[in-house]
Copies of this chain bind each other. A is one copy, B any other.
Amino acid sequence: MKSGYLRDMAHEEKVIDLNADLGEGFGHWELTDDEGLLGVVTSANVACGFHAGDPSRMRRVCALAAAGSVRIGAQVSYRDLAGFGRRAMEVPAAELADEITYQIGALRVFAQAAGTQVAYVKPHGALYNRIVWDKEQAGAVVDGVLLAGGGLPVLGLPGSAVHEAASAAGLPIVAEAFADRAYRADGSLVPRTEPGAVIHDADAVVYQALAFARHGVIIPADGGGRVQVHARSLCLHGDTPGAVELARRIRDALASADVRIEPFA
């Protein structure tokens, strides 16, 4: 899978973080194989109860993550269990900020109980997409992170409004790329509403992960050459059948290609 050409280009050691959403069940409902994923990723985006997640799941995932030296991030969301946080909402900025703070606080107590800390914040779903461009909500998320204290890094899309707002507020920002999402030649993601947005072929996913991690490039879906993607973290999806196995393949492929896999936080 790894061509000699790609290999030749690598002159320096590459470092990458692997993040995935975890704890996205609720009560009786399970979604992700938390234990399996925690054996692969270096950063766990833990659902905090607003789109998914509940206290017992949060405690358990934090304990497992801490035991495995996986970093814990607060996967904050709109308050929307019925829609899994995938319904964009017009929330007044001040309320949204407080909802972000609340979720971070609720997760922090479990991280601390496990002997570690919430190390970063990653917005989820419709909120994630919204604050790519919506400056008001982006600012609200940053306000919420600031109020929570600790100067937490914000993990998100490179060039997003939330990254601009976070930087302006003095918060660290961390960019991520996606192993299984198609990119356009301009470096943006193919929207999920369009065909081909998600890459289903496992080999293609591993290849994209590798090209990105080794060379910072991704082959765009709409043809043309290659697009530079600067990101410190690679997002893996954990909510599909075979997700853990695919994540494991990606990790192994990266390791074989001398990519150092290490959390950013």
Q: What residues of chain A have their CB less than 8 Å away from a CB belonging to chain B? A: 25-31, 49, 52, 54-56, 58-59, 79-84, 86-91, 94-95, 98-99, 101-110, 112-113, 126, 147-149
Contact = CB atoms under 8 A, between A and B. Distances in A.
Given A28-B31, A90-B87, A91-B83, A59 B101 contact: yes
B89 A87 contact: yes
A164 B38 CA distance: 39
Given A81-B81, A102-B106, A104-B109, 17 more contacts: A26-B29, A27-B83, A27-B84, A28-B52, A29-B31, A49-B102, A54-B82, A55-B99, A55-B101, A80-B89, A83-B89, A89-B90, A90-B126, A103-B106, A106-B109, A110-B147, A112-B149
A139 to B, nearest CB: 16
A200 to B, nearest CB: 19
16 contacts: A28-B31, A28-B86, A55-B101, A56-B94, A56-B98, A58-B98, A81-B81, A83-B89, A87-B91, A88-B90, A101-B109, A102-B106, A104-B109, A105-B107, A105-B109, A110-B147
Contacts of A113: 101, 147-149
Contacts of A58: 98, 102
A142 to B, nearest CB: 14
A107 B104 CA distance: 11
A147 B147 CA distance: 23
Contact of A98 (B25, B59, B83, B87): B59
Contacts of A149: 109, 112-113
Max count, chain B CB within 10 A of own CB: residue among A54, A86, A103:
A54
- Determine which residue in A58, A104, A147 has the highest number of CB atoms from chain B within 10 A of its CB, and name it: A147
Contact of A27 (B27, B81, B102): B81
Nearest to A144: B55
Contact of A148 (B49, B83, B109): B109
Question: 9 tightest CB-CB pairs across the interface, nearest first?
Answer: A105-B109, A28-B84, A55-B98, A29-B29, A55-B102, A88-B90, A106-B106, A56-B98, A27-B82
A89 B82 CA distance: 12
Contacts of A94: 56
Nearest to A112: B149
A54 to B, nearest CB: 6
